[in-house]
Structure 1
Amino acid sequence: MNSRSKSMTAPRLEPGQVVTLKVARQTDLGAFLDAGTGRTADDILLHKMQQTAAVAVGEEVKVYLYRDPKGRLAASMRLPQMRPGQIARVKVINVTRDGAFVDIGAERGVFMPFAGMRGRVKRGDRVWVKLYTDKSGRPAVTMDVDEEIARAARPAQDIKIGDQVTGTIYSEGESGFFLFTAERYIAFLHKDEVTRPLRMGEEITVRVTYLRPDGRINVSMRPQKEDAIDVDAQNILAMLRSRGGKMPYSDDTAPEVIKEKFQISKAAFKRALGRLMKEGLVVQREGWTYLAGQEHEGAGKQP
């Protein structure tokens, strides 16, 4: 029924918009908001469950628009905590064959297509995203936030080499990871300084190793060099013991093999191996490393 005159200037209402609409009528389900088309049938339901405070007929209410399970335009007074173009660290609430949904504080999760992901995400992950409007006019998010974080960051100050910072991984390149810290610093974590597999969006605490002229910092997951040598040496000994006292890795082994097997650089491996040799705990022969006293067993086949 056409019970109201049609507004000639009424804007087109779409899911994802935050708009102010007038309460046209009340029912047992909730309040119906005037969509501005002049058609009562186009009124938008603001269900009682989506009201954060009581509303009255004639009152103007700020609401977030979304599609209900039947595809109908609906409204909620629970407003998103982001606006298009803004970035935030948000929680992944569901993953589907087509992408994922994240919580931006609105009534419904917002879609993140696979094309907008960095790596793969899982339910419960917290990742940095940017809100935008897709080609169909609906809200969506992307993990491509490098430019936005660069604008939001500030130069590292009141910090020195050896300090610890906590940051979230927001990007990965060929040589390492980029973190955005609690202080709004951008930190680079080289892959040689990574001690375990990392996930996009993961929050980690790292050690500052270099203050860059551009205001950014380089960081490491590894302890200080002297402490790192101790740790690396113990890992080498553990590897040897697990292999019966011998292993086909030595000073001559390729850096990429050392990285794969020990998760450290070739230089770090050589430092730790050198300490073990100096202490008389290991010996090297023909490209193999042995626990001291077991080198007579000879080399075996390389795995």
Structure 2
Amino acid sequence: MHLGDYNDLEVAREVDFGLYLSSDDGDLLLPEKYVPVGTRVGDVLRVFVYRDSEDRLIATTLRPLALVNSYAALTVKDHGPAGAFLEWGLEKDLLLPFRNQRRDLRTGERVLVYVYLDEESDRLVASTKWKQFLSDAPFAGEPGDPVRLLVADETELGYPVIVNGTHQGLLFHNEVFRPLRLGEALPGFLRQVRADGKLDVRLQREGYGEVESATDTLLAALRAANGRLPIGDKSLAEDVYRRVGMSKKVFKKALGALFRQGLVVLAPEETVLK
């Protein structure tokens, strides 16, 4: 059984206050309020396993905002003698111990954390010192490769991001055309691996591949919008990015490619599919 993650467990027996599920670590309770309608003994349920306020292993069908050994942006709900408590979608809040905090935190503040299993207490805890959980191994990727990005912070240079859940990267401000939210996950592309092992990334492909990809994206967006998009050559960059997820520069190149193929009719603030 995996603490802090989803487990597929068989229903062993039914009691007045819920179901007991069998596991290698003994039976654990799934409280009645989380039992799916029609569940019977012998059924296999996919549940999240954690410890309740009395330190007992317990199951739930609720979906937490973070799993063990993962990064997430969570909101500070309260403070206590042991540290801050974070909302993560379960009845019991997630502890962020004082030793794992880089600075004092305000109630209602969103913070990026890494969730892990504390070996001493055998409890799930969070840490805002997320950099120490990144991999030291060389990044296995080449410039132009698609990557998964998680926004970790914002600085004068741009947005520090976590790349593929393992390495730190930087998304420069001039590559971003809308505000990004802490904890936002988005696709990107590797620009380069620096000498210090950190990564430079971007949101769109570079060169010809970038335009080719953007052309396909724009054509698909036109078809999904019944052949008409309220953006054109004179539209604001923010409107372009909001509609089709690309920069104004790349949008104009894609627009030109479609026009040369005779696929669209152009207007200052509108594009129509022929």
**For this structure pair, what is the TM-score category when the shorter chain's length is used for normalisation?**
0.3 to 0.5
CA radius of gyration, larger in: 1
Larger strand fraction of residues: 2
TM-score by length of 2: 0.47
TM-score by length of 1: 0.44
